[in-house]
Amino acid sequence: MGHTHGSAEEAAFADILGRAADGARTAGQLSYAVIRECIITGLLAPGEHLRQEDLAERIGVSRIPVRTALMQLESEGLVSFNPHRGAVVRTLTVEQVREIYQLRELVEAHALRKSIARMTSARAARLRELGETLDGPHERGTLHEQRTAFYRELYDAADNPFAIGIIEDLRNVVNRYLVGRHVAHGLRYHRELARLAARGDADGAERVLRDYLAEYRRRVVETLADQGEEA
């Protein structure tokens, strides 16, 4: 974001700051929530230098909570510390993207089977409804919330908070590369996944999930190659 900020960028930052301020109790929580959201939404781009003084000033805190937040984000794979440049938004190689999708397959297949084994009729109905919505026409800007809701229902987030945390972290690390790029365009599989999971077909549901992740990975790798970011 640097020192010169366009009005659209300023508005987006102000919106993120406002929403984060509602949920944060400390300067550290606020700094973490704002910087993380800026990275995930692409407002802070891969490879961008994260100046602690600049971030502290814009968030309205001192440098200490900003530094703590950056270290926490480093442990989540969103930030890396470069000996010469300080903190930067982490970039991914094609190889790292492939590894992230291998990890996603393992964790998501595990969460899916565990969740299907404890499926309730209420969750099954909600899943079908969310699947229909996701594979239907969308209102602009609603997709992210709907997709998050679908997966939290699919993987039974209430009973699997740890697995959901890992899955969402892995998804966020990759998704920030795809802001404004319709990588999932035409991938209509939520309805089918919901149908199989709702009726307890764990094998069928896992097959659909693995096929989807493989196709999505292929598209992400292509997108990264187009951007010349495998270096």
Give the pLDDT means over successive 10-residue stretches in the chain (231 positions). Answer: 66 92 92 93 88 96 96 90 88 88 96 97 96 82 82 94 92 75 75 97 98 91 69 38
The pLDDT score that the predictor gives to residue 211 is 95
Sequence-ordered list of residues with C-beta below 8 angstroms from that of 100, at least 6 positions apart, any chain? 92, 170, 173, 174
Q: Which two tokens stand for residue 139?
A: 């209102």
**Tokens encoding 156:** 């039974």
Predicted confidence at residue 117, as pLDDT, reads 97
* Whole-number Å distance between alpha carbons of 166 and 161: 9
pLDDT computed for residue 183 by the predictor: 66
pLDDT of residue 3: 45
Q: Which residues, including other chains, have CB under 8 Å from residue 199's CB and lie 6 or more apart?
A: 124
Q: DSSP letter for 178, please.
A: G
pLDDT of residue 46: 84
Q: Exposed/middle/buried for 16, CB within 10 Å: 0-12, 13-18, 19+?
A: buried
Contact 98, 225 (CB under 8 A): no
Model pTM score: 0.74
* Whether 209 contacts 225, CB under 8 Å: no
Residue 99: how many CB atoms within 10 A of its CB?
13
Kindly state the tokens that stand for 208: 């659909």
Structure token pair of residue 56: 């502290």
Calpha distance 3→5 (Å, rounded): 6
Residue 191 corresponds to which tokens in the numbers above? 């309805």
Q: What are the two backbone dihedrals, phi and then psi, of residue 130, each rounded to the nearest 5 degrees?
A: -65, -35
User: Cα separation of 117 and 194, whole Å?
Assistant: 14
